[in-house]
Amino acid sequence: MAARLHGHASELPSLPLRLSASRSRLLGAANRPPSAFRLRPKSCRRARVMAAAASATTEEGLKKGIAEFYDQSSGLWEDIWGDHMHHGFYDPGVTASIDDHRAAQIRMIEEALRFAGVSDDPTKKPKKVVDVGCGIGGSSRYLAKKFEAQCQGITLSPVQAQRANNLAVVEGLADRVTFQVADALEQPFSDGQFDLVWSMESGEHMPDKRKFVGELARVAAPGATIIIVTWCHRNLLPSEDTLLPEELNLLNKICDAYYLPSWCSAADYIEIAQSLSLENIKTADWSENVAPFWPAVIRSALTWRGFTSLLQSGWKTIKGALAMPLMIEGYNKKLIKFAIITCHVELLFIHVVRVESKVQHECGQRRHHLLALVATASGFYEHIYRFPLFWVAGFILQHMLMVRCPLRLIKMRTSIKRRSKVILMEQI
């Protein structure tokens, strides 16, 4: 998958892992010379195969757990809180009513758009939006209305996807907003399809954060905005290799309740975005702005309506409700951070020059005019936009330069060091 996303995975710098003490010891053992192991080569290969199979099984189990959790809990959430399945954004220190909380959820969307610099200008606003981890489609429908855009949402939950599509029909948006069951790590979209890539509180469920951000970047068009709003753990201090044992213990309890893999920090997201050559990378800690949210969720669960609905929702939802005080504890201890990360996909600047050269043919030596296309591109575009680049080349040569003749690619030279690409096309 990494090769499909980025061309050559080996060209991407590795993200430093944040490991527990036991995992660090295991990594140290893995780095010892082969003689330190008692396994024979065949046994080593068998062990690697078994480890890979176990990892795949664990990931599939996580996806299944996430889908079932939201299959069971989404109806309760919609009944109490409405169709926006995410935190609200508040002014620090406020005490809010349930109506204020619903308004705060809309404000969260608007604050995220403002922070990312998404324009309302009719000529600049996004026309195609993807909502990765869409829930029952609250954000998708809001964005589709706000920008008059086409929007597609994906979720692991069949119940959520069906409900989201039904609500789109009710709101008269079925021709512009659609939802489907799909994996955010293997999105069913073509490269460069969307002007706005939106992920509201789904990143915490992703077992491979690098692949997650890579997929967001893959489906984003040149110049597109990527918005990730997610739960993170605090940034590590320069002297730290991992979180404290008591912090890891608290996060593990939350992971068990909400079907979360290992956590990462906002700094880790920034490092991933930088490795993908994304631009205008920004982040902010909105933990204080979401502080009233979890106490309000607990209060709503303690009402008669909330309590009876909770009992009918199944054990997974009840287990999640019992873990809500752990989230408050994590925020109070400054361990859990509510982070926003935004960035832009690089625009492709293309310069066309005309050169002359002699080309050797089987029939002899003839003088030809060559058109050299020089495209400034990052290492990311060297792989992701290779074929679209050919199309752009032909378009420019035949339309902007008014060249009315077929073109044949005769040479391509790529320089990663100089971050440029030179394509020579022969006029025939």
φ/ψ region of 87 (left if φ > 0, alpha if ψ in -120 to 50, else beta) reads beta
Closest listed residue to residue 331, CA positions, set 87, 151, 123, 144: 87
- Give the angle subtended at the CA of 351 by the CAs of 346 and 357, to the nearest 5°: 140
AA letter at 273: A
Residue 376 host element (H or E): strand 364-376
Core vs surface per residue 22-47: b (16+ CB within 10 A) or e? eeeeeeeeeeeeeeeeeeeeeeeeee
pLDDT the model gives residue 141: 98
User: What span, in angstroms and rounded, lies between the C-alpha atoms of 360 and 365?
Assistant: 5
- Give the angle subtended at the CA of 217 by the CAs of 110 and 342, to the nearest 5°: 35
* Neighbour tally for 100: CB within 10 Å: 15
Q: What are phi and psi of 13, to 5 degrees?
A: -65, 150
Report the relative pairing of strands 349-361 and 364-376 from DSSP bridges: antiparallel
pLDDT the model gives residue 294: 87
Report the relative pairing of strands 364-376 and 420-427 from DSSP bridges: antiparallel
- Per-residue pLDDT of the chain in tens (428 residues, 90 and over written 9): 443 334 333 333 333 333 333 333 333 333 333 333 333 444 444 444 344 434 445 888 999 999 999 999 998 888 888 899 999 999 987 776 666 888 999 999 999 999 999 999 999 999 999 999 999 999 999 999 999 999 999 999 999 999 999 999 999 999 999 999 999 999 999 999 999 999 999 999 999 999 999 999 999 999 999 999 999 999 999 999 999 999 999 999 999 999 999 999 999 999 999 999 999 999 999 999 999 988 888 887 778 877 787 778 788 888 888 899 999 999 999 999 999 999 999 875 444 333 333 333 333 443 334 444 444 333 333 333 333 444 444 444 444 444 333 444 433 333 333 333 334 443 33
pLDDT the model gives residue 125: 96
pLDDT the model gives residue 98: 63
Total-model pTM: 0.71
Q: What are phi and psi of 372, to 5 degrees?
A: -105, 120
**Gap between the terminal Cα atoms of the chain:** 39
Q: Are 348 and 155 in contact (CB under 8 A)?
A: no
pLDDT the model gives residue 341: 99
pLDDT the model gives residue 97: 66
**55-344: CATH number:** 3.40.50.150
Residue 46 host element (H or E): helix 41-81
User: What span, in angstroms and rounded, lies between the C-alpha atoms of 74 and 70?
Assistant: 5
Q: Are 389 and 409 in contact (CB under 8 A)?
A: no
Q: Which residue spans within 300-362 are E strands per DSSP?
A: 336-344, 349-361
User: What span, in angstroms and rounded, lies between the C-alpha atoms of 100 and 104?
Assistant: 6
Task: Name 173's bridge partners.
Answer: none
What counts of helices (H) and strands (E) characterise the chain?
15, 11
AA letter at 309: S
User: What span, in angstroms and rounded, lies between the C-alpha atoms of 254 and 336?
Assistant: 11
In the chain, % helix, strand, coil (3-state, to 5) comes to 45, 25, 30
